[in-house]
Structure 1
């Protein structure tokens, strides 16, 4: 029968609350749920607040109490049909007496799939695919990871106008401006892994944490991953207790991503140097590029990316610009380019 106007409006609200700021990312998708009475009015709503917390459907059902009986549950992801840290949402919906379920995105995770069929078997009306593309964008990294069996990779770098990521003497702090660095932390916070190579750790000694505009660490930190065969010196800051750190003893990008996927990680923020970036690009494992371009020139120094084996213009790796924005003002202005692979 399709979704009613009230159900579609409720789905937009569910998508909005699914993306509530501050919800930690990974390993679970962001999900929102709105319960509607038969007249289309809202009874309750809820969203998933992170791993181990009640799922969105359960949060909404708890808020509604006995008023949940006979309602329509509008949820951004197909209700799960498995027991993990929490019980199956299908069982909670059936027990609460929900009459109808409208969901957006089908759950492609084989562990949790099958919710729609289980609901129908219990006599509940089910309508799927409502605003599915919008729901997939809310969970773009999770969706990609489930579909491809590896994390989504965003490569971030800062460069001068002439493509230099460091000066001839090796110094690289700071090519980007303070506003650009603050912007980087906001985007870094949307990932669940920050990945660099052992060379970057040895030379730059980065923290690899997410910090706020006052340089204070935020509560929820992504996993810090260091890739490479050499040992990490014990005094490196990446080994402090500000966030969890893993050493991936490999030089193969695909192997590193496999290990991270096995750790339930869906979005890698790649901040390594030009050699590591070239390895991921050559392997076809960069899905998005975020480049901060400073209005400056160095004339010499390290390139933003290492040798890709490209010897002629016709073979150049082309990217599609998805967004361009000026970050900061005046002398602190940088241009942020967000690019994706061409189809």
Structure 2
């Protein structure tokens, strides 16, 4: 079977990847063979491929995949041949609390991922895919979708009438917009162009602020919330956007700390604002199997559809990575397999 693999050559994107032939593995007890049909890219995948996050030579990248079960191992009862499934980002995290040391086998690093034609994995490494989604749409869920679900619902507890601030138009942010609107919240979105602003409004954003026109967007958020601020912030920007996110937050607000898409460097950390506003900072590292199952049911109940910016063939992986890194996308960048 075809598989994309990391190689030792230094560099970024396609410079560290080669398309290889891997043997098909036998299916053992408790395992399933899944014919992969689609995968999606996440910010972390770019870090792995670029050598920022350590990964072994020969690793198959990408944490998120969707496919169909084509062979069952002895003792597998939760799936049947032909079932459509999606991967789990943290296969060991079933529900509730888990120690960080136990989250040590995420696909796409350190374990092999899904940039390949088929995989043989324990059946517990998958859940069923939403019935209303295509393979491409379903492949966007395991990392970005579950992260947004955790931030908005499981940790955030967003309720009707809540005000939610989202940053950007990446996968997590757009999922958070959809989940927040389904919960009855008012959503304020920060973006960087008029075109993206129009698309955010079509997705349901109640207010959109163009940061290229309004660099101090936190003041605009306060104006839109009667000077109080928002109860929830989906903070994907990182250190360089934290100060404005904190200023835009209401006293006692929940801040979901998710990523660093705006860069890792900053001169100041606004701890005084955190203390003065009694902000609740909750880091999000994707979520559990229970979170994914709950999210799948919600997606089906509300007939939600992920936003896909563009799909590339497996052989076009380097172009997909370059497109994701450009920051021009609106939604998820995917691979058709």
TM-score normalised per structure 1: 0.26
Q: Which has the larger radius of gyration?
A: 1
TM-score normalised per structure 2: 0.26
